[in-house]
Amino acid sequence: MRPAQIVTAAGEIGIPITAALDMRMRYLFGLMEGWKEFISGRTSEIPALTYPAIQKQIEALHRYESDPNPKGKITDDMIATAKEYPIEKVIDFDKRGNAMAFCHVDKNPSLSWYKAANKAHCWSCSRSFDTIEVLRQRDGMSFISAVKELQ
Tell me the pLDDT tens digit for each residue of 45-85: 766 555 555 566 666 666 655 555 555 678 889 999 999 99
Tell me the pLDDT tens digit for each residue of 99-138: 999 888 888 999 999 999 999 999 988 899 999 999 998 8
pLDDT at 136: 92
Q: Which residue, of 50, 73, 96, is where some domain finishes?
A: 73
Domain holding 128, by residue range, is 79-149
pLDDT at 16: 81
Could you give the maximum distance between any two Cα atoms of the chain, in Å?
A: 70
Q: What is the CATH number of the domain that holds 133?
A: 3.90.580.10
Find the mean pLDDT for residues 89-100.
94
Q: Are residues 110 and 60 in the same domain?
A: no
Q: Which residue, of 73, 89, 119, is where some domain finishes?
A: 73
For the ranges 4-18, 20-34, 133-147, the one whose mean pLDDT is highest = 133-147
Whether 93 has a pLDDT exceeding 90, the answer reads yes
Burial (0-12, 13-18, 19+ Cβ within 10 Å), 86: exposed
**d(C-alpha 35, C-alpha 55), whole Å:** 12
Q: Are residues 56 and 98 in the same domain?
A: no
pLDDT at 51: 54
pTM above 0.75, yes or no: no
